Amino acid sequence: MDKPVDKPTHLVEFETMLLSRHTHLYAPRSRAGGAQLDRSAYVLLSRIRMHGPLSIGQLSEAFGLDASTLNRQTAAMLRAGLVERIPDPEGGIARKFRISEEGERRLDADRTSNIEGLDRVMEHWSPDDVTLFATLLERFNRDIERLEGRPWPRP
């Protein structure tokens, strides 16, 4: 049996556990034909879109992941045609990853699908409640980023 909830953070832990479980459920899509990006590709492409071309070293620093993990993930993205390797636009030695047209198309399609799913989930919420929820989520994420020392670029 679970321990009694004696701190609000216990409630947050429980709800974030459920949120991570439900995330893939609010916008179900077929994976047939590679229709949906996997989570790592979605996050990596989102980061590259916000920042511009990034090297393995820069991705490693941004995500706190080892280079071997990122090499596997970017190799899969290269095979899928989601990214391209390019010379560093700033003249550096390391090659960088840039989103391909296919990567842009699939990221946009997944983002649209995710937003439509959230619209369905929150259809009975007031605009003020949706805005408040977004504001609190941003605050939560920014505090995690502050503790990790890895801020996420935002529009």
Which numeric CATH code is attached to 34-147? 1.10.10.10
Instruction: Determine the average pLDDT of the residues in 3-14.
Output: 81
pLDDT above 80 (res 1): no
pLDDT above 70 (res 25): no
Instruction: Determine the average pLDDT of the residues in 88-111.
Output: 92
pLDDT above 60 (res 32): no
In 3D space, the residue among 23, 37, 97 whose CA is nearest the CA of residue 63 turns out to be 97
Burial of 76 (0-12, 13-18, 19+ CB in 10 A): middle
pLDDT above 80 (res 6): no
Domain ranges in the chain are: 34-147
Instruction: Determine the average pLDDT of the residues in 74-103.
Output: 93
Average pLDDT, the chain: 88
Task: Please tell me the distance from the alpha carbon of residue 67 to that of residue 122, in angstroms, as a whole number.
Answer: 38
